[in-house]
Amino acid sequence: MLSTFRLTHPRARARAAAHVNTGLVWAMGILLGAYLGGLVLHGDGFSFLVDGVLALLTQWVPVAVFWLASLRTRFRRPEILLAAAAVTSSALGETYYVLALDGAAAAPFPSWADVGYLLFYPLMLAALASLVRREARGLAWPVVLDGAVGSLGAAAVLAVLLGPILVSAAAGPSALAVAVAVAYPLFDLLLVAAVVGIAATHGLDIGRRWGLLVLGLFVYAAADVAYALLELEGRYAVGTLLDASWPIGLALITLWVEGTVRRGSHGRTSASTPALAVPAVAVLAALGVLILGSRIPLSVLALVLASGTMGLAAVPLIFRQRLLRRQAGTDELTGLPNRRRLYAEVPVRLVAAPDRPRALLLLDLDRFKEVNDSLGHDVGDELLVQVGQRLSSHLRGSDLLARLGGDEFAILLDDTGYLRSVAVAVGLQEALAEPFTLAGIALTVDVSIGVALFPDQGTDLGTLLRRADLAMYRAKDARSGHHVYVSDDDTHGDNRLRTLEDLRTALSTDELILHYQPKVDLATGAVHGAEALVRWNHPARGLLYPDAFLGLVEEAGLMPELTCLVLGQALDQAARWQEQGTPLTVSVNLSASSLKNAELPERIIAMVEARALPPQALMLEITEEFLMADRDKARTILTRLRGGGIRIAIDDFGTGYSSLAYLRELPIDELKLDRSFVMPMSGDPRAAALVAGAINLAHSLGLRMVAEGVEDAAAYDELVGYGCDHAQGFHLSRPVPAAELDLWLAGRPLPATALQAAEGAGR
């Protein structure tokens, strides 16, 4: 039953077809080589083996490759189906032609073979059209015009070359013979024009191997022209090297389809030529045809095509300046007006109606960098596109929405005072709070909006932008979502800039220090570790706690430097405790942004080894936010840290968007229960039940549980009763400098186990 399933499963059939196709491609190459050798060696006249058997095999083996390729794509790629039909039609024509020869040097003309041969061209043209159809819809019209100019220019040149053939064909013995004879060069003209047009149309996603298709079609066209010229002079005979041209062209087309299917998807075609190179050459060629036509007689078709090329090339020049101005004011990603357009249009509006109230909103997505870092820039770009669309749908037609760059948008609201600007800001917050679906993931977006009012808070765009920017940062700091500018914001903005400069200085001096909060073993009362917490000993503002500066550190991109500084100080202190004979595990918080650095695990392990510390001397505390943002990346980083012996704790457990699966999948040693569960425990039975359940969950998974925020003896006793492993909080000790912690440890009574050991030693 299993073997039957494998043979009938679609994927199994596709894999089997792939192996067969590879063998057929090799067979095609061998047959083509044998055919070429036979043509060189067999001499004049018809050879049944070479011109019959080998010639037909060089046609039918590629047919098999094409239909197997269609099977592998489950007949869902119309360009491959059409190309398969084209080569099948040509092979049928060749089969009829060989049978009609019956050993003669030439077959009747026209014949049913010509039907098969001629069908190849419209079917292949349809395959080319299908190949570019979807991408061509989204191309700008100047790009499409460039392709059309290239097509007409190539067709004009080819019409000159085919002129004698067309004239001679028109003098054929019968109307049918004339029609068939003329059809070949006309189809060649269309085919070459289509290929050159595709080459001139930049931005088409038509596959990396499309050059093989182009080369194969050009070989076909060149063979047709050479064949027609020989026929005109009565010099064509079966069995010459010219007969190999069509199998060579077919082999190249076959390699295209096999390579395309093997990769499973298109790849962006490389455009090494400048965007206007092909249209420019086409215009010069058309001009040359017109000049030549003034000196010698040329066909009407060639002159019409050349004139059409020149006329079509002039169309973009007329409108290109206007289009370029429009494109210069448009954001390439979202299609919204950009910063340039905002600076050009808003001043005009303000001057035109100086008494009309307006509001300028500056909007910034919170934590957008995390989307790019966790899910990739493609997903981040798609989020920006959807944000722009959603914002547009909630604004009036007279309002101006622009993307300034990155994740920042600006909105000018017409006829809007304070109340309506606040209502619009709240409405936009609510609109963006609805989840976005990206890469199969539902994402919610928080936004900060700053509002500046015209004319009360600024009469020019520069002032309005500056004040809306200040208001936006006030909204970020307060996490209020929106804020309307007030005069005090100028002071806040200045303070923010000064604080940022002071922070840069603090990172290179000794202003950033660590305080340590002990973690007490609830079973024994012993202290085996302490959490390191950063403080800023500001020269003018005194001791600052993390909430006063960590947000600014994140925004300024200084978190990697701060992380290294904190780790260095914490490990230095752990080394001192080791030397004093009171080894303590030191815990350090790592932000999600600092963990984006792929080299961080090895750097941390090297810092521990450089101080001759055991790896267990360091505990890294990670937030659930990082774990849930990118599970695979988290697993990789944590596994590398654990491989170096570093312990891992989950900080603020229970407050994030938790999926308990990560407790099973990731290398974790400890959970830290957030204070929001511990503090209400005494007066809230449900909170107490949650704490007890979390402790039992941790123990069932072989993890230790640490309770944060233990503020009184009642909470301490309850945690002991629930079997919690460790606790930290103000009831035990506030975070203090290392020297004070040493004094606190020295003043504590010995835990029961240590006291018993001391008494035993005394006896």
Which residues are registered as beta bridge partners of 408? 364, 405
Ranking 39-43, 432-436, 520-524, 608-612 by mean pLDDT, the lowest is 39-43
Compute the average pLDDT of residues 14-36: 74
Residues 175 and 278 reside in one and the same domain: yes
Quick one: which of 411, 407, 418 has its CA closest to 345? 411
Residues 145 and 223 reside in one and the same domain: no
Cα 57 to Cα 52, 91, 99, 187, 257: the distances in Å are 9, 9, 14, 25, 18
Choose the final residue of a domain: 307, 328, 349. Answer: 328
Residues 132 and 164 reside in one and the same domain: no
Quick one: which of 201, 226, 254 has its CA closest to 88? 254
Residues 144 and 47 reside in one and the same domain: no
Residue at 494 is within a domain:
no
Range(s) of the domain holding residue 34: 15-138+206-268
Residue at 186 is within a domain:
yes
Compute the average pLDDT of residues 173-185: 63
Q: Which pLDDT value is given to residue 17?
A: 53
- Residue-wise pLDDT for 520-547, tens only, equals 999 999 999 999 999 999 888 888 888 8
Q: State the number of CA atoms in the 13 A half-sphere of 538 facing the CB.
A: 16
Q: Which pLDDT value is given to residue 102?
A: 64
Residue 312 has pLDDT above 80, yes or no: no
Choose the final residue of a domain: 328, 348, 369. Answer: 328
Residue 689 has pLDDT above 80, yes or no: yes
Residue 642 φ/ψ region, left for φ over 0, alpha for ψ in the -120 to 50 degree band, beta for the rest: alpha
pTM: predicted TM-score of the whole model, two decimal places: 0.46
Q: Which pLDDT value is given to residue 267?
A: 43
- Name the burial class of residue 157, with classes exposed (0-12), middle (13-18) and buried (19+) by CB atoms within 10 angstroms of its CB: buried
Contact between 726 and 706 under an 8 Å Cβ cutoff? The reply is yes
- Residue-wise pLDDT for 575-633, tens only, equals 999 999 989 999 999 887 777 777 888 999 999 999 999 999 999 998 776 666 566 77
- Residue-wise pLDDT for 228-268, tens only, equals 667 666 677 777 888 888 899 888 888 877 777 665 444 44
Residues 170 and 90 reside in one and the same domain: no
Residues 450 and 504 reside in one and the same domain: no
Residues 604 and 664 reside in one and the same domain: yes
Report the alpha-carbon distance of residue 343 to residue 275 in Å, rounded: 30
Residue 733 has pLDDT above 90, yes or no: yes
Q: State the number of CA atoms in the 13 A half-sphere of 583 facing the CB.
A: 9
Choose the final residue of a domain: 233, 251, 268. Answer: 268
Report the alpha-carbon distance of residue 289 to residue 28 in Å, rounded: 41
Residues 682 and 579 reside in one and the same domain: yes
Residue at 4 is within a domain:
no
Cα 689 to Cα 18, 211, 684, 686, 699: the distances in Å are 60, 69, 9, 5, 15
Residue at 416 is within a domain:
yes
Residue at 561 is within a domain:
yes
Residue 4 has pLDDT above 80, yes or no: no
Residue at 8 is within a domain:
no
Residue at 758 is within a domain:
no
Residues 472 and 360 reside in one and the same domain: yes
Residues 578 and 724 reside in one and the same domain: yes
Domain count, the chain: 4
Residue 76 pLDDT class (50, 70, 90 cuts): confident
- Residue-wise pLDDT for 190-200, tens only, equals 777 677 667 65
* DSSP, res 337: B
Compute the average pLDDT of residues 726-743: 93
| H helix or E strand, kind and range, residue 705 | strand 704-707
Most confident range, picked from 291-295, 438-442, 745-749, 754-758? 745-749
Residues 55 and 106 reside in one and the same domain: yes
Compute the average pLDDT of residues 106-128: 80
Kindly give, in sequence order, each residue whose CB lies less than 8 Å from that of residue 665, ignoring residues fewer than 6 positions away.
631, 635
Residues 532 and 663 reside in one and the same domain: yes
Ranking 359-373, 383-397, 725-739 by mean pLDDT, the lowest is 359-373
Of residues 306 and 471, more confidence is placed in 471
Residue at 7 is within a domain:
no
Residue 415 belongs to domain with CATH number:
3.30.70.270
